[in-house]
Amino acid sequence: MSLDLILRIGTKLILPFILLFALYVQFHGDYGPGGGFQAGVITSGVVVLLTITFGLEAAQRMAPQAVVQRMIPLGVLIYAGTGVAGLLLGKNFLDYSVLGHDAVHAHELGIFLVEAGVLVTVAGTMTAIFYAFVERGR
Amino acid sequence: MKAVWPHLPALQVVIPLIGALLAGFMRRGTTAFALALVVSWLMPVIAVCMLWQVLSSGTISYHLGGWEPPWGIEYRVDALNGFVLVLVSVVGAVIMPFARRSVAFEIAAPQRAWFYCMYLLCLTGLLGIAITGDAFNAFVFLEISSLSTYVLIALGPDRRALVAAFQYLIMGTIGATFYVIGVGLLYLLTGTLNMADMAVRLAEAWPGQSPAVIAALTFVTVGVSLKLALFPLHAWLPNAYAYAPSWATAFLAATATKVAIYLLIRFLFSVFGASIDVRALPLSDILMALSVAAMFIASTVAVFERNVKRMLAYSSVAQIGYITLGIALANQAGLTGGLVHIVNHALMKAALFLAVGAVFYRACPMNLTDLAGIGRRMPLTMTAFTIAGFGLVGTPGTSGFISKWYLAIGAIERGWWPLVIAIMASSLLALLYVGRVLEVAWLRKPSPAIADASDPPLSMLLPLLVLALATIYFGIDTEWTAGMASTVAKALLGGVR
């Protein structure tokens, strides 16, 4: 195990930056390339890297199966819930214009929530698919 | 109530979607079942309210996110899709009580909640295809319903279900790709994805038979035909129906192909019908030939099939032939026959597959020879099977007769007498394959293998009997089915050139 010392320390060092980059891609999606889908894939990349260097058990201690499986519907629920919020406030489904004090801010908030939902679902789904492949034949 | 009223089109799709997501959090099959039951029983209430609204005050248009069509996605309910929404939601609601025991029997405990999650997602997709007025949104819902259908099939108790699901995945993806290429061509031609707007722009800018319009029509027709299992694009269907869980088969046979047929009718009559005369294209003759081929070839295969579920699946391919025949006839009586057969076939095929599911629940065997004397052990179940079976044949007094009557009149009006004979001859084939099961079930001595089989509990028996009685009821009182279908057919034919 001592041989991959550099790999393990390097992984530990780089992980926070990968997550930070995922958040950058997430929030920069408003102004440039990026958004929930890409950020979700990058987030699940953290689990992939963890599994490769520390093994599946270590990775699943950090991102347990139960949590990952619940992230999948949770993200879509955040998305749909944002739509229903518009419905409850008297507008049409997915109409965000009533979520804030003026229409522009409301739309920004609406898109922010929707993209957050996409992040959660994509990160969960990608990780679940990865786990499904890794667990085969164990 | 007043506040909810204008939002019914959104709720029709959003409630099953949220239901599916909540079921995704659940781990116990029974709680997920309770949720699915509540959602399934809410759906027909919404659908009937909308159909009533359409019939009393005209088309409903709902703008998602408040964006005006044709820029935003529009949910548009008229008589045609109001009718389809009622059919899909009523079938789901009627057969839902059957699911609890059947699913608990056939599917392992950890996967039961996922089964209901996938069912609700499939319901979302099917209702979404029916309600949306946007061609690309229809593609998205087509994918939602298809992906969840693949999972439903793969959850079947037999390992062959995995192969069947994979086969359907490949075919279904090819179908969806063809559809989306067709929609892409239409978008290039018209610059819009809204179906109503597309029809107007096609008529304005591309009158007559422009090759690009014909190419788009071809792609959409082939793609959707794969989904509705038009012969010879039906190869995925028999295995998918045979190996899926019994309840899922009943649900899919009654709704999934029917919604695809709706999409074909929508494109042929509402989108393309305004700019080109579809009846003058070779498409009409091809559709006619394939429908007749389906009626004969699929029925013949069904006669020689030994697995009862596969036999009924081949029978579905044949019955879809009757519906597409009505579309190909494209006159008032023919189209009415096709539309009414969508409802009638959905109800009787759901009854037949539920009866087979009930037999599987009590006795397990699925091969014809194992069913010897099952009628004496499970009399009510097999009575329902018999009634629905006579419906398939088209015996007078059952709803199947009504559909075939209108189709025959449609054929006579077009002057195609051989078609009338074909409809009657293929009914005789149906009599053969239904008769084989009835002979084995009622006239043979019960085999020891099914010695302790008996009628299933009330929660399974009731949906079965309701559907069987509906087969008789709609054979006598045709006000709701044929009356409605004739109104829809008139509206569709009024809009075409």
Residue B207's pLDDT is what? 66
Q: Tell me, what's the ipTM?
A: 0.90
**Mean per-residue pLDDT over chain B, rounded:** 91
pLDDT value at B209 more than 80: no
**Would you state the pLDDT for residue B351?**
95
Give the containing element (helix H, strand E) for B393. helix B379-393
- How far apart are the CA of B227 and the nearest CA of chain A, in angstroms? 26
Q: If pLDDT is split at 50, 70 and 90, which confidence band does B352 have? A: very high
pLDDT at B1 over 70: no
- The pair of structure tokens assigned to B26 is 């659940």
CB-based contact (8 Å) between B458 and chain A? Answer: no
Structural domain of B317 = 279-497
Among residues of chain B, what percentage have pLDDT more than 70? 98
Between positions 58 and 77 of B, the ones with CB within 8 A of A are 62-66
Do B25 and A91 make contact, defined as CB atoms within 8 angstroms? no
Q: Do A86 and B65 touch (CB under 8 A)?
A: yes
Mean pLDDT of B205-218: 82
If we measure between CA atoms, which residue out of B134, B123, B17 comes closest to residue B68?
Answer: B134
Contact: A93, B7; criterion CB under 8 Å:
yes
Q: What is the DSSP string of B230-247?
A: -TTS-TTHHHHHHHS-HH
CB within 8 Å: A73 and B18: no
Centre a 10 Å sphere on the Cβ of residue B38 and count the other Cβ atoms it contains: 12
Instruction: Give A3's pLDDT tier (boundaries 50, 70, 90).
Output: low
User: Of B24, B25, B62, which is closest to A92 when you measure between CB atoms?
Assistant: B62
Is residue B124 exposed (0-12), middle (13-18) or buried (19+ Cβ within 10 Å)? Answer: buried
Highest mean pLDDT among B25-29, B35-39, B208-212, B362-366: B35-39
H-helix or E-strand spanning residue B52: helix B29-57
Q: pLDDT at position B363, please?
A: 80
Residue B466, in any domain of the structure:
yes
Delimit the domains of chain A by residue range.
2-134
Chain B interface includes A128 (CB < 8 A): no
CA distance linking residue B187 with residue B185, whole number of Å: 5
For residue B76, the surrounding DSSP H or E stretch is strand B74-77
The shortest C-alpha distance from B449 to chain A (Å) reads: 38
On chain B, the residues whose CB falls within 8 A of the CB of A83 are 14
d(CA A25, CA A21): 6
Contact criterion met (CB below 8 Å) for B353 and B320: no
Task: Say if the Cβ atoms of B117 and A83 lie within 8 Å.
Answer: no
Cβ <8 Å between B10 and A91: no
Distance spanning both ends of chain A, measured CA to CA: 21
In tens, the pLDDT along B259-284 reads: 999 999 999 998 988 788 777 888 88
- Chain A within 8 Å of B140 (Cβ-Cβ)? no
Q: How many structural domains comprise chain B? A: 1
**pLDDT score of A2 more than 60:** no
Sign of the Cα torsion B472, B473, B478, B480 reads negative
pLDDT of residue B212: 87
* From B6-15, B369-378, B400-409, the region with the lowest mean pLDDT: B369-378
